[in-house]
Amino acid sequence: MRKTGILMPLSALPSKTGVGEMGSAAFEWIEMLKNNGVKIWQLLPLNPVGYGNSPYQPYSSCAGDELYISLELLYEEGLLAELPEAFHENFERVDYDAVRSFKEPYLKKAFETFCSKGRQEEEAYKDFVKQSWVYDYGVFRSLKLKNNGVCWNEWEQADKVWPEQRAALSKDVEKEAQYHCFLQYCFYRQWMNIKETANEAGIEIMGDVPFYVGVDSVDVWSGKKNFLLDKDGHPIFIAGVPPDYFSETGQRWGNPIYDWDYLKEQKYQFWVDRIGYSSKLFDIIRIDHFRAFDTFWKIPASCPTAVEGEWIEAPGYEVIDTLLEQLPDVHLVAEDLGDLRPEVLELKEHYHLKGMKIQVFSIETNGKYAYDSFKDVENMIVYTGTHDNDTLMEWYHNLTCPAKRKVRRFLKRQGFGEGSVKDRMISYILKGKAEYAIFPMADILGLGKEGHINTPGTVGSPNWEWRMPSFEQAKKELSRYKELMMYR
């Protein structure tokens, strides 16, 4: 069955607190998708954002960012005595630091009320915190605060090795750890309510799982043997990609490289646990940088760029076989973009996974004629673009005049000669054979540079900050494509 999806970060939804959250606007968004025939809501990672506010450098593979917890729902639950006044409600960018500072006092008050009512003794809460990752994450965040926020491999020695020695914690550290356990409980309950509502509306949630984890994460701190680290916990090698379309010096991500030999000895339990928990949160799991299951770029940590490195083969078949054996109902799709060797596509096809095509990369404008490379392929997800490239209109306006004419002629030859370029490009994908057609919300809105989410190889503002202050324009634009989306 062909399905239409919208790529919309949770952080970009409207709210009264300056960042998208899991309150009333999220449910209004789901209703809007349902009414316009959208069957997939694709997200960026929901994990606690780390360095540069990137969701691809999170503090945990399982935890959710407390930034997205709805204060409105905490109030309705009786954990807050009053609702806060609006904060940054009409801002078009997320100011992460300001929003965190605004929301934290309310989250602390909710925790105090939760404890004063004895709700930590409720069976649902006790069952949730029994999961091994929850308390470890709470301790990680508490010790990070104690150590002034620096990366765990710069902590005091006793704190560095806490996962191995499990030393008693001070009263203050333990209380802070319990606070973060509470936040994760709130996040999980609010998120699962959203997922259930979406599923009841016939909408699947596509989550995003980065191939790598951040070095400053509970995953690495509590599972050091899974990674190639020196005795002090610093990566010996780091992940990235060599020079490509996005960067002349490549992308030096800084994530630690897996110790695949050790993971094999452990029957890839790290991956089973990670994907297994994600499968509770999402209906479809997009594996970001899927190509690393085949080969990965291994950069010496001492190198300042990603130019130096080597391609190393990974045990992709073994890992995916294990995942499918242990998690038979998991639904994976592959981010297989970039310059790939044929073995990557063979790996994807072996498991009949959907890959991705980006319209703005697939319509070639440099040659004599424009053409596409996805027109007749069904087992595929076609996008106008992703969070990592220019918006559709940004791309088009940056073309030369001759290239723009080639695009328009191409669309006319395909039977799309009327309307704006945006409408014609979106309609062309919606009438294609690909099983999934997914559009970033910024492209539905027709935004230019102001809707650009992330520029690979760069860190910090304005990356990850775009948000939509209201649904007014979104409702108008989605309704214009309703018929095509409803009856793909």
Per-residue pLDDT, averaged over 70-79, amounts to 97
pLDDT at 247: 78
288 is catalytic: yes
Per-residue pLDDT, averaged over 311-322, amounts to 97
CA distance 108 to 106: 5
Taking only the tens place, the pLDDT of each residue in 205-217 is 999 999 999 999 9
388 is catalytic: yes
CB 347 within 8 A of CB 374: no
pLDDT at 375: 66
Please give the structure tokens belonging to residue 210.
């980065």
Residues in the chain, how many? Answer: 488
CA distance 94 to 88: 8
Confidence band for 237, pLDDT divided at 50, 70 and 90: very high
* Number of C-beta neighbours around residue 446 at 10 A: 17
Confidence band for 472, pLDDT divided at 50, 70 and 90: very high
Per-residue pLDDT, averaged over 26-55, amounts to 96
Higher pLDDT, 369 or 17: 17
Per-residue pLDDT, averaged over 242-266, amounts to 90
Backbone angles phi, psi at 225, to 5 degrees: -70, -15
Confidence band for 53, pLDDT divided at 50, 70 and 90: very high
Confidence band for 1, pLDDT divided at 50, 70 and 90: confident
Taking only the tens place, the pLDDT of each residue in 96-114 is 999 999 999 999 999 999 9
- Would you call the peptide bond into 14 cis, given omega within 30 degrees of 0 as the criterion? no
Please give the structure tokens belonging to residue 394.
């940004």
Question: What mean pLDDT, rounded, does the chain reach?
Answer: 94
Share of the chain above pLDDT 90, in %: 86
pLDDT at 201: 98
Distance (Å) of CA 353 to CA 130, 240, 278: 34, 23, 17
Confidence band for 228, pLDDT divided at 50, 70 and 90: very high
Per-residue pLDDT, averaged over 145-167, amounts to 97
Straight-line distance from the first to the last Cα atom of the chain, in angstroms, rounded to the nearest whole number = 8
Share of the chain above pLDDT 70, in %: 97
97 is catalytic: no
pLDDT at 458: 87
pTM passes above 0.85: yes
pLDDT at 166: 96
pLDDT at 370: 62
Beta strands 310-313 and 295-300 are antiparallel
CA neighbours closer than 13 Å in the CB half-sphere of residue 122: 12
Q: What is the largest CA-CA distance in the chain?
A: 72
Please give the structure tokens belonging to residue 71.
């204060």
pLDDT at 367: 58
| Res 139 pLDDT > 70 | yes
Higher pLDDT, 40 or 484: 40
288, 390, 443, 465: which is the annotated catalytic residue? 288
388, 394, 443, 477: which is the annotated catalytic residue? 388
